[in-house]
Structure 1
């Protein structure tokens, strides 16, 4: 390899046109796969530790935080449940005024705009698997290694920021003991997290901690997607009629975490027909119960033939987190003025296995080559739009997410949004949770309950 093969482009280091960080992640994952398959006794050598961790022989009590730490890209072996030194909690990357993520310094003062959360439950998202593999851009850019994954939290306020200095009356106010839920920009796989107040709300009385932890990331993703599609908040005329003539929406993975909220919110906002796509017959009834007018089981039915039948004039919006398997056809089935909203690439990544073998990396590379390209002139002539987003990059845009969180909370309290179906597991079973999510057989949300340390 010559030095001329290495170049800097768009702030990323490339080797032969490939992102160096992706290549390093591939090497690390292949090493994990090789060691797991042929030399499992050597796995402990692939588990980096950090100085914030408590020595293994220390007495573990309720004053010490526990979290799931990932020390390098790899397989399930990287999901290490560790105990931190006394006075250390996890933090998201937008709490840098406390310290660099993922850990706050020992016995740090809680900032005025934050609270210390005694976390009771957190959700497992597909993004967490991507983080573990080293394939999640915001995690690599803003945290690095080690990293404590996770976005959704639900728990009890343990401590509040010092309001005697820098008090801001516009901040959401919490008291010690309040039940709260919300999002952190990584760091949720922990029993103690420092979280900005703007990212939290009080839990409605009718929700358990596990149910509350199922809402934030998926509901904010769903509502922001509908915002990009033009349906929220300014689509209603004075008489309550939706401004768009074509209100048909197609939602891929309609029984999943984000999909289930997209279906319900689409119903609230007056869209229709709501066409939900599911990947197996076991998810058809769930999609119907959520409010889909038409459900297509792509495992047994002709997806696009039935989609055309459900809305012959095309769709005003198609919500697609699949990636290469459906993006081209999704775009082709938009109506004039339609919008394709992209917020994931699940089919680009492997399902069914939590380990990435060399063969899986070759398959992923092949899929990247096949990704559709959208021509700007065609977008103009066909009067279509393709919009994408990832909320984990929204550290500077919390105001808009805060407003949307308020709307989501109102809908929950009015009974207009039902909690996604949840599967509850224990924090100790984090590897099993990742395996279940990777199997593609889960419905709704996987929630890990935080088990208190036995003194």
Structure 2
């Protein structure tokens, strides 16, 4: 089968098209004929071995696919990679049927980005109606869905951050009340001005000073949910005296941990998202489709932070 393999860790240049034997499903697994592959920021970390879960060489990156298994259309999370290929093996427990009316783009957008936004708002932030929500990287895969969910769930004011006029316009189109420049030198001041007071909830996957300055903008009992570090710069260590002094909550979220929660939280989230899509209350934003043979180009585009929405790979090209 055609695939993309990493034999040495590094940037997009290490993604190499190859021919590999077809994978074989073991007990509790399913073999999927892949129709489209989702591209995530986690894949770029996986390729350079900077992800939370260490990578091992040789590696076929990719954690999510949509395709057919045993004659049925499914979307699946993979265990440790293997998605950048024409065929992939996934655990039965993380393989989900795709309802009629849900296209490939939407299925993949909701599987990782959608469930991430759902968990952040429901479980980390415990969003209440009327509260203000800051969505950093609001034109990205998670951000575009988080803006829509926050509005659908009654947020009082949604403040989007993005790096270009086009991205800010997209965030406003999706329901954000105001969109500000993510490149601002003083994000604390920008957020206070945008809300007219301190903010209640921040969803952050940028890191560095964006995180530091967002924490400083939180209202008493405000919550920052940290779920990535696209800027590849760590925030400063938290001063717990300041956390206490401002009644601040800072939490982290790594999607694999959702599967350890009691009950079928991931499945519930995915079903909720599909229902919202079918009801016309939520939509996936296309970010571009690349041939599998140009996975490098997809990673370059993603790391440039010039993309919007969801990026896909086509294994047939």
Question: Structure 1-normalised TM-score?
Answer: 0.64
The counterpart of 1:79, out of the listed 2, 12, 15, is 15
Q: Where does 1:336-351 land on structure 2 (aligned, <5 Å)?
A: 336-348=220-232
Q: In the aligned structure 1, how far is the partner of 2:229 from the partner of 2:46?
A: 14
Per the TM alignment, residue 394 of structure 1 is displaced from its structure 2 partner at its CA by 5.0
Instruction: Judge conservation of contact 2:163–2:183 (CA < 8 Å) in 1.
Output: yes
Q: In the aligned structure 1, how far is the partner of 2:183 from the partner of 2:241?
A: 35
Could you say which structure has the greater relative contact order, defined with CA pairs below 8 angstroms and 6 or more residues apart? Answer: 2
The counterpart of 1:134, out of the listed 39, 46, 49, is 49
The counterpart of 2:170, out of the listed 275, 286, 306, is 286
Matched residue, 1:7: none
Matched residue, 1:272: 156
Matched position secondary structure for 1:326: helix
Change beyond 3 A, Cα 1:418–1:331 = same
Cα deviation, 1:201-242, whole Å, max 9, x if unaligned, reads 3323333324422331111111111121013xxx5xxxxxx3
Cα deviation, 1:183-211, whole Å, max 9, x if unaligned, reads 22322212212222332333233333244
Q: In the aligned structure 1, how far is the partner of 2:212 from the partner of 2:183?
A: 19
**Structure label with greater radius of gyration:** 1
Q: In the aligned structure 2, how far is the partner of 1:302 from the partner of 1:258?
A: 24
1:197 aligned to 2:92? yes
Matched residue, 2:124: 228
Matched residue, 1:69: 5
Matched residue, 2:56: 144
Per the TM alignment, residue 420 of structure 1 is displaced from its structure 2 partner at its CA by 1.7
Q: In the aligned structure 2, how far is the partner of 1:75 from the partner of 1:374?
A: 30
Q: In the aligned structure 1, how far is the partner of 2:179 from the partner of 2:278?
A: 28
Per the TM alignment, residue 314 of structure 1 is displaced from its structure 2 partner at its CA by 1.2
Q: Where does 1:381-392 land on structure 2 (aligned, <5 Å)?
A: 381-392=245-256
Structure 1 window deviating more from structure 2 (327-336 vs 402-411): it is 402-411
Q: Where does 1:38-117 land on structure 2 (aligned, <5 Å)?
A: 65-85=1-21, 88-89=22-23, 107=24, 110-111=26-27, 113-117=28-32
Matched residue, 2:40: 125
Cα deviation, 1:266-319, whole Å, max 9, x if unaligned, reads 011111200101111121211111110111123479754342123233111011
Matched residue, 2:242: 378
Q: In the aligned structure 2, how far is the partner of 1:393 from the partner of 1:146?
A: 25
Change beyond 3 A, Cα 1:184–1:272 = farther
1:415 aligned to 2:280? yes
Q: In the aligned structure 2, how far is the partner of 1:76 from the partner of 1:301?
A: 29
Q: In the aligned structure 1, how far is the partner of 2:177 from the partner of 2:196?
A: 15
Instruction: Judge conservation of contact 1:342–1:386 (CA < 8 Å) in 2.
Output: yes
Cα deviation, 1:20-70, whole Å, max 9, x if unaligned, reads xxxxxxxxxxxxxxxxxxxxxxxxxxxxxxxxxxxxxxxxxxxxx332221
Matched residue, 2:68: 156
Matched residue, 2:293: 428
Q: In the aligned structure 2, how far is the partner of 1:254 from the partner of 1:391?
A: 19
Matched position secondary structure for 1:137: coil
Alignment coverage as a number of residue pairs: 314
Q: Where does 1:397-412 land on structure 2 (aligned, <5 Å)?
A: 397=261, 399-412=264-277
Per the TM alignment, residue 395 of structure 1 is displaced from its structure 2 partner at its CA by 5.5
Matched position secondary structure for 1:221: helix
CA RMSD of aligned residues (A): 2.2
Q: In the aligned structure 1, how far is the partner of 2:275 from the partner of 2:91?
A: 21
Matched position secondary structure for 1:347: coil
Structure 1 window deviating more from structure 2 (192-201 vs 437-446): it is 192-201
Change beyond 3 A, Cα 1:148–1:399 = farther
Instruction: Judge conservation of contact 1:322–1:347 (CA < 8 Å) in 2.
Output: yes
